[in-house]
Amino acid sequence: MRLRIIKSKLTEKFESALDAFSKIDKDGGGTLERTEIAVGLFRLGIWLSPIEIEALMNVLDEDQGGDVSFQEWYRFWKLNIDLDTGTLRADDVVEDL
């Protein structure tokens, strides 16, 4: 369950959704690009194939605009937190990864 691994690494490494977002947003552009996410996860020791990145972006990029706003990131963060409690239909999302 990749999404669970990604979430646990992120929460282990970063204090909050905002902390993670601002550190992954290397160029300070206010959105997370596909490359920034791939690099950010790689630095956490998570190597995702292009197909997995694509699947992750489909989860993250709710409006399919090609990048991830903080609002979208926060939604993902919350979704992941809910994974812990076993609530939500998060497994539907995880199946896509």
The token pair at 31 is: 């959105």
Site membership for Ca ion, residue 36 (CB under 5 A):
no
Distance CA 24, CA 87 (A): 27
Write down the least CB distance from residue 96 to Ca ion, Å.
17
What single-letter DSSP state applies at residue 37? H
Question: Based on CB atoms, which residue is closest to Ca ion, 63 or 84?
Answer: 63
Contact indicator for 3, 59 with CB cutoff of 8 Å: yes
The only residue of 18, 42, 43, 65 in contact with Ca ion, by rule CB under 5 A? 65
Positions in the binding site for Ca ion (CB under 5 A): 61, 63, 65
